[in-house]
Amino acid sequence: MLCIKNGYVIDPKSGLEGYRDILIKDGKIVEIEEQGKISVDAQNERVEYIIDAGGKMVSPGLVDVHVHFRDPGFTYKEDIESGAAAAAKGGFTTVVLMANTKPTVDNEETLDYVIKKGKKTGINVYTCANVTKGMKGQELVDMESLSRAGAAGFTDDGVPVLNEEILREALRKAAKLGKPISLHEENPKYITNNGINAGAASEYLGIVGSPREAEIDMVKRDIEIAAEEESDLSIQHISTKEAVELIRQIKKKSGHIFAEATPHHFTLTQEAVIKHGTLAKMNPPLREEADRMAIIEGLRDGTIDMIATDHAPHSVEEKEKPITEAPSGIIGMETSLSLGIRELVMPGYLTMMELIRKMSTAPAEFYHLDAGYIAEGGPADLVIFDKDAKRQVTKDGFASKSCNSPFVGEWLPGVVEYTICGGEVVYKDKSLIK
């Protein structure tokens, strides 16, 4: 048995907030009591491990529903084991992997490989399957068989589904299966150079870049289709103020449209590309200050439901290539909670309870996962963190195989001290080890 004492517990699902002690047995929470009311011999059994949270925050384990662990096919960037370690260090107990691996997750064999490998990591690893075979947008995968085999949802993340009829059929099938679809919304016909906003950043670099119309065009089409088909759809990593407004309006007539925002899109603008170069290159690109603030307002007013990292590891050699050749994407799981605290909670845009809902409860609910809450009888998936403590982000401090982050060198608030998954400590801050 494990007992967490003296923690400040926040649970968005029940609204619980306050000092509590939590008793854990066999991977489940068996008791939640007022501070000091759980004795070390509770239920006449010896408590094997006591964590004194010392007033630190205790929340449901974070849930990241948009990550790339690059396995199979690109394991020099990341693999399922190293990705899970990075997740645990960031406070995540549950992740949903994207399907743009090599081979892609468009078949049961690859899906089974990912699921089985994920079960060995200590955290909850789920994966999406593809919408179309080979992510080519021409033929649907066997959604029924992949759903039965354990796919958490469906996505061709990395590319949009351009064929409208294929998307409609996918949404219809997904609705019948009770599985969500999540979409990468950038129309390639508008894009000359991906990963860089067509504006101040592209002008500085002397390239054409990627205009906002690429996202607006696809979002406008796809939310209308999903609303018509009454199928749950998430718009991934939203980057423009216009797309935020489109989602705000569609939500007034449909309960099937959801949206996610990344920490980098509510923290940075295209100025970061001028400063950091390829380390701030991502799809969709960082936009303007007005877009960043629109995303924050969308998070504040509920237009944007979830925060997801789009954790995208790349090697140093890849990111050292010229701006138009280097791959897009940054790692994000180990800085996500900190950026949420700094950019959203500290300025007063969100409460801590609201932040944890966006990072845990809401994404778990969208994917119908048994996660993102604290309750007796529920999973013992928890994170203990010090919201006030700061730590410096360093290249050699990541648990990820990669270090492609524009936040290296910064001091960020919110230090994860323990991550507990299934009642087991899967991460402990080294400074706590005596």
Q: Is 79 a catalytic residue?
A: no
Can you tell me which residue has the tokens 């969500």? 180
Residue 278's alpha-carbon distances to 114, 160, 275, in angstroms, are 29, 23, 9
Query: Quick one: tokens of 379?
Result: 């999973």
Can you tell me which residue has the tokens 């690059």? 70
Contact between residue 269 and residue 289 where contact means Cβ atoms under 8 Å apart: yes
Distance in angstroms (rounded) separating the CA atoms of residues 207 and 193: 7
Contact between residue 239 and residue 265 where contact means Cβ atoms under 8 Å apart: yes
Rounded to the nearest 5 degrees, what angle is found at the Cα of 258, between the Cα atoms of 255 and 262? Answer: 165
Catalytic option among 156, 222, 305, 310: 310
Segments in 36-120 forming alpha helices (H): 80-89, 108-118
Enumerate the β-bridge partners of residue 25.
28
Determine the 3-state secondary structure of 229 from DSSP. helix
Contact between residue 292 and residue 266 where contact means Cβ atoms under 8 Å apart: yes
What is the b/e burial string over 411-432, where b = at least 16 CB atoms within 10 angstroms of the residue's CB?
ebbbbbbbbbbbbebbbbbeee
Query: Which phi and psi (to 5°) does residue 358 adopt?
Result: -70, -30
CA nearest neighbour of 122 among 89, 74, 78, 75: 89
Determine the 3-state secondary structure of 254 from DSSP. coil
- In angstroms, how far is CA 224 from the centroid of its own chain? 25
Query: Which phi and psi (to 5°) does residue 386 adopt?
Result: -100, 105
Distance in angstroms (rounded) separating the CA atoms of residues 153 and 133: 15
- In angstroms, how far is CA 260 from the centroid of its own chain? 8
Residue 211's alpha-carbon distances to 65, 238, 244, in angstroms, are 26, 14, 16
Determine the 3-state secondary structure of 417 from DSSP. strand
| Beta-sheet pairing, 382-392 with 411-421 | antiparallel
H-helix or E-strand containing 59? strand 57-60
Contact between residue 131 and residue 139 where contact means Cβ atoms under 8 Å apart: no
> Could you list the active site residues?
310
